[in-house]
Chain A
Amino acid sequence: MDWRFKVANREAWIGVALAAINFLWWYGFAYGLGSGPVSEYQFIFGMPAWFFYSCVVGSLLMIILVIIVVKFFLTEVPLDEEEDHS
């Protein structure tokens, strides 16, 4: 198998993992903290805590994770066909 495809397969799985983390964080904070009565809501920077953690922190987390993945886990590969490709 072309070595580049091993890299590509691994990176596709990283994409799946990122989306899974993204979803769990988003869902967990939104419905974990947001399901109680509004009178018991905590507020952070004026926003309900569920919203702050799920949407604001969740987005920042994903941005940081994507940066980490790009810097440390992705590999540069040539996209064009190489001469010795078999």
Chain B
Amino acid sequence: MNWGVMIPLIIFLAIVFVVGFWSSKTVYAKSNFMQEYFLGSRELGGLILAMTMIATYGSASSFVGGPGVAYTEGLGWVLLSMAQVATGYFVLLILGKKFAIMARRYNAVTLVDYMKVRYDNSKAVVILSALSIIIFLFAAMTAQWVGGARLIEAITGLSYTTALFVFAAAVLVYVIIGGFRAIAVTDMIQGLIMFAGTLILLVATVIAGGGMQNIMTELAQENEMLLTPFGHDGSLTPLYVSSFWILVGVGVVGLPQIAVRAMSYKDSRAMHRALIVGTIVVAFMMFGMHLAGVLARPILPGIDEPDTVMPTLAMTVLPAWLAGIVLAAPMAAIMSTVDALLLMVSSAVVKDVYYNYVNPKATEKKIKQVSIGVTSVLGISVVFFALSPPDLLIWLNLFAFGGLESAFVWPLVLGLYWARGNKYGALASIILGVGSYIAISVFAPEPFGMHSVVLPVVLSLIGYVLASLLTSSKQSHTMETS
């Protein structure tokens, strides 16, 4: 075990734990438990809003999987990853003030709450939305959890099982007792670590490789395709790379764990500040981490397992204690994603299913018990799922992303801006989106050379518009959305 690396990591985990624990105090002082536990009472300021959005979005694939692929593909993969810069401003501008205003008017705590009121209390919309969130985000969470444990395993040499329990212990406690506020506050620390880690690693890698020019020359000598936008074997077509703008760029609007953050901010000023901070941080992080993956190639030739590129690079080009800080970054990225996913799934179970349909008369005390109980049970069960880990980390993660985006982008965005959109449209959108995404991913992946998510998003749009128009005579719309 390398204590030089371990000590910064242990300090990081301890800080997150203490801060999460401390910020959970507020939770029990607030009058409305559910608003506080699942949404932090809509009190987030600008900096914390930016950080929690980015930290939630930035995950194992941004810090471990992505740089690993970039190592293999070259600069073309950095180009692809830059589609994510759009997430820094697009989500907040598109959902924007309208979503924040409507969510307050509807008194919505979850994304599904918003859909419920917007779509005339349709039971089908609520149940389908809640189910999609529970199933897909549970899968995504398991993948992230596996990633977290693998990373601890790789760094410390602990067994996978031990690593998993260390990771679980560090995350579960503050999420279960502290809810959204603890997550947002720890996301702030995790976001800063992610930023600092990226900066340190990128600079150290350029220096270790003898300067940018030198590294590029060596890359060109090995395989000049590494310097092109087309990938190491020329297989990254412009269409394929551009199609990632849907998956990891503009489509992120439809991710419930991100969208819910767009209703958590305090005032317009917080949103304005978050736009600037968010864009800067996400652009730098995605650029830095993926570029470091490419630049690692001449320094560490012949790595077969892409997921090990980033940890190996950090431990090669940095002194142990700095490597510890840099390796805290992917850990932070994973923690800040799983905590948000866990609470999101829990809110879908507690608020959207239990409180809506099982026990609408639940008292404040009962809600408190159920919320904490469900979060604990979900957290512990995901750990057990992660014990026999499924492979293909990125794939599983992207599968969940694509499914949720196909389901929610249009019911959410057109629900805000198109008054004629109705519950039939939303249902058609969710069913078509999720159904066609699964079918295409399984039976005919990447149709026409685009990522599998593109067609389902288009089908989901057509479904929403057609179903809304065809039924709009039957259903007179009462909401003043226009």
Interfacial residues, chain A to chain B (CB-CB below 8 A): 1-2, 4-5, 7-9, 11-12, 14-16, 18-19, 22-23, 26-27, 30-31, 34-35, 38-39, 41, 43, 45-48, 50-51, 54-56, 58-59, 62-63, 66-67, 69-70, 74-81
Mask for B90-113, Cβ within 8 A of A = 1, else 0?
Answer: 101110111011001100000000
Known: A18-B89, A48-B227. A79 touches B212 (CB 8 A): no
A4 touches B283 (CB 8 A): no
Q: Which residues of B (421-466) have their CB < 8 Å from a CB of A?
A: none
Complex contact B227–A38 (CB within 8 A): yes
* Given A46-B215, A76-B269, A79-B104, also A30-B96 (CB < 8 A): no
Contact present for A26 and B83 (CB under 8 Å):
yes
| Contact A48:B104 (CB < 8 A) given known A12-B96, A16-B94, A77-B268 | no
Q: Measured between alpha carbons, how far is A56 from B212 in the docked complex, in Å?
A: 14
Q: Which of A15, A47, A70 contacts B272, CB < 8 Å?
A: A70
Which of chain B's residues have a CB closer than 8 A to the CB of A7?
Answer: 97
Determine if A62 and B79 form an interchain contact, defined as CB atoms under 8 angstroms apart: no
A59 engages B287 (CB within 8 Å): yes
Known A-B contacts A54-B79, A56-B287, A58-B82; the reply to A12 vs B227 at CB < 8 A is no
Say yes or no: B96 contacts A81, CB within 8 Å: no
Which of B98, B225, B229, B283 counts the most A-chain CB atoms under 10 A from its CB?
B229
How long is the Cα–Cα vector from A12 to B269 in the complex, in angstroms? Answer: 16
Closest residue of chain A to B100 (Cβ to Cβ) is A79
**Which chain A positions have C-beta within 8 A of B40?**
none
Instruction: Given A34-B228, A51-B75, answer yes or no on A81-B105 (Cβ-Cβ < 8 Å).
Output: yes
Given A41-B227, A80-B104, the answer on whether A59 and B238 have CB atoms closer than 8 Å is no
Contact (Cβ within 8 A) A70 B228 = no
**Which residues of chain B have a CB within 8 Å of any CB of chain A?**
75, 78-79, 82-83, 85-86, 88-90, 92-94, 96-98, 100-101, 104-105, 211-216, 220, 224-225, 227-230, 238, 242, 245, 249-250, 267-269, 272-273, 275-276, 279-280, 283-284, 287, 416-417, 480, 482
**Are B272 and A22 in contact (CB-based, < 8 A)?**
no
The CA-CA distance from A10 to B308 in the complex, in Å, is 45
Instruction: Given A23-B245, A51-B79, verify A46-B86 contact (CB < 8 Å).
Output: no
Asked, given contacts A9-B417, A38-B228, A76-B269, whether A46 binds B216 with beta carbons under 8 Å apart, the answer is yes
Does A15 lie within 8 Å of B216, measured CB to CB? no
A18 contacts which chain B residues (CB < 8 A)? 89-90, 93
Interface on chain B toward A: helix, strand, loop, or mixed SS? helix
Of A38, A51, A58, A79, most buried by chain B (CB within 10 Å of CB) is A79
Judging by beta carbons under 8 Å apart, are B272 and A11 in contact? no
Q: Of A2, A34, A55, which one neighbours B287 at CB under 8 angstroms?
A: A55
Q: Which of A30, A34, A76 has the most CB of B within 10 A?
A: A30
A46 to B215, CA, bound (A): 8
Smallest CB-CB separation from A54: which chain B residue?
A: B79
16 more A-B contacts (CB under 8 A) besides A50-B229, A62-B279, A62-B283?
A2-B480, A9-B98, A12-B416, A19-B250, A30-B79, A34-B229, A39-B224, A43-B213, A46-B214, A48-B75, A48-B227, A67-B276, A70-B276, A74-B275, A76-B268, A76-B269
Flag if B75 contacts A63 (CB, 8 Å).
Answer: no
Which chain A residue lies CB-closest to B97?
A8
Q: Which of A15, A22, A45, A48 contacts B96 (CB 8 A)?
A: A15
With both beta carbons as reference points, the residue of chain A lying nearest to B215 in the complex is identified as A46
Assembled-state Cα–Cα distance A67/B277 (Å): 9
Identify the interface centre among B79, B100, B280: most chain A CB within 10 Å of its CB. B79
Among residues of B, the one whose C-beta sits closest to the C-beta of A46 is: B212
Q: Give B403 Cβ to nearest chain A Cβ, in Å.
A: 22
Closest approach, in angstroms, between the C-beta of A5 and any C-beta of chain B?
6
